[in-house]
Structure 1
Amino acid sequence: MDKFSAMRAFVRVVEAGTFTKAADSLGVPKGQMSRLVQLLEEELKTQLLNRTTRRVTVTPDGAAYYDRAVRLLDDLEELESSMSQAKATPRGMLRVDAPSAIASLILIPALPDFCARYPDIHIDVGVSDKPVDLIGENVDCVLRAGEVTDLSLVARRIGEIDRFVCASPAYLKRHGMPQHPSDLEDGRHHVISYFAHGTERSTYVLQRGGEQYEVHSRSAVAVNDSGAMLAAGLAGLGVARTAPFMAAPHLAAGTLTAVLPEWSAGAWPLYVVYPPNRHVSVKLRVFIDWAAELFARTLEAPPRHCAAD
């Protein structure tokens, strides 16, 4: 038995929760994973996992062994990396997940630079606006906008997404240009709302210096995706809240106009999030540093005063 392979298999099963997910994440047959863990239990003469038809759970002995095994494997990976000069040429597969707008408009267009710097890193980019199970899906890190509520994860803040409100020229021609946030409540205007599944539609909170105004307006349409919010604004369905990096080409083309440009619609922090209790590999570390540099530069808000003549 290759004890280190068996140890890696056991650690992966504990983190994934099932043999199937663990086998898929490592690209090996499920039977091989099960056999490795079984041989490890026979070698240690103790049961590490409780098995059911749907899930496996770790025994008390298994939990103690897992903690020590993770540290040992991390030390081994660090030793191998230093011996192979991986710090100079990081290599391997890196799995990253990002929201659709951030992936399409910022991350993927900038990837040629990352690939040129680190040609031996092969990167898989998952694009999703839904939460990702980092451990179960074997994802190295995710980009997340908004506060990270799962305190068990490690989060590094790498930027801030400014937001403002805008509308199409056709909409403003029909309903008029608001001069104050209270104008959005006068019955003439529609505000495109945002909702998350299981929650009520959110309201806009606009800020100007120390002044703050919570908008309660009619909302004929609500969406749960930032790209859909922008599309609804372009379609003239109402006043939309978006980010400068998404709206910039439409502002320049005159298909969107900033509304109340001196008012901010709030800012969302942007984080790189990765699982705890794992060695931060060199390939992950260089990606995080590169992403921090990219978003610090990209998320600098352009002027909002572009408007159709």
Structure 2
Amino acid sequence: MTELKETRQQLERLDDPAIGLTALHREITQCGRGIQEAVQTGSTELRDENREVRRRQDRMIKDLNETRAELRHLLDLADTLRALVLPQYADPSHDVSPEASPHQPPGASWTTTGHRPEPRPTVTALHHHTEAGTDQQGETMENTDQQRQPEAVDDDQDLALKRAIEAAYHGTQATAQASPTAPQTSGGGLEDPQVAHGVLLLKAAGVASAELVAHRDTWEWLAALAVDHDHFRTPPAVEDIKEGRVQTVLSGRSLIALLIKLWSTRSTATPLDANWALATTAYNRIAAELANVTGRGETIRIVLDDGLPDGADD
């Protein structure tokens, strides 16, 4: 009987809300919540630190690219100065020998040799010098004219290209191609690639923001490619979504810079190379989305994931 009473008392204690199973369940629940909050806090801090490290990496890459551009500019300037200075020493007309020096005192040349040179007619020498100077001046003017002609042709071509792009953007391409200097389409009716690229840039200029969904590795490649462009701005936030994908928002200005870099990489990269494949796919995907722009304030969504259907929830 005593053991039965003790067992009954123990069972009653289990039902006690202060020390029984209910209290134990409450403590376990609170501990679980505390652990979950600690894990979430730690994950958030690690994510913020990771984003800060990526921002610093982007800044470092941008600074390195700017330094590289300055070094290239200095090298070009040095080459230009070298091209201007070296011909002066290589030109025979700049002979500074004692016999040809105009500042040589009279009698200095025959003093060392012991023979007095025959006098030269001053008028004839002056006449020859004048003719040589006239010929040299004429050659200089001809060279200047020859240098200006290619620049004028380039300016005309650039102006014609701009007009063709604006005409194609506004839907008046046929009128723009009436000019003989405007870029012509191929025989099959295909649009000039430069005109199509320019139209994409104009469309991107009118975009306020564009969502980009891609794998983190792809996004890092795109950011490293465009970070050295003056108009590219690193997005303030890159959100991690499931299965290694990230989602971010690019402005129209950054989209222009990205298109320019992708166009250049696609043109200069080696065929069947990874950079060529990434640049071509990303450029075509952005171009396909910009082709459907209606100008109604809709957000453009660029998805670099063939396994993710359009409009899928993040």
TM range (shorter): under 0.3
More strand by share: 1
Greater C-alpha radius of gyration: 2
Q: Normalising by structure 2, report the TM-score.
A: 0.21
Kindly indicate which of the two structures has a greater share of residues assigned to helix. Answer: 2
Give the number of the structure with larger relative contact order, counting CA–CA contacts within 8 Å between residues 6 or more apart: 1
TM-score normalised according to structure 1 size: 0.21
